[in-house]
Amino acid sequence: MSSKIDAYIDCVSPYSYYALVYLRRNRKALESHGVEIEFHPIFLGGVNVGSGNKPPWTLPAKAAYGKYDGQRATRYFGVEPIKTPDFFPILSIMPQRCMIYIKNNFPREKYETAFLSLSEWMYHKNIDISKPEKLAELLQSHGFSKEDIEKILAAASTPEYKQALTDNTQKALDLGAYGAPWFWVRNKEGLEEPFFGSDRFAFMWQYLGLPFQDISIIENEKAKL
Catalytic residues: 13
- CA atoms 62, 67, 68, 72: torsion sign: positive
Beta bridge partners of 37: 5
**Percentages of the chain per state (helix, strand, coil), in multiples of 5:** 55, 10, 35
- CA atoms 106, 110, 115, 121: torsion sign: negative
C-beta separation of 179 from 185 below 8 A = no
Strand, helix or coil at 184?
Answer: strand
Locate the DSSP E strands across the chain: 3-9, 35-41, 182-186, 192-196
Query: Using CA atoms, how far apart are residues 114 and 108, in angstroms rounded to an integer?
Result: 10
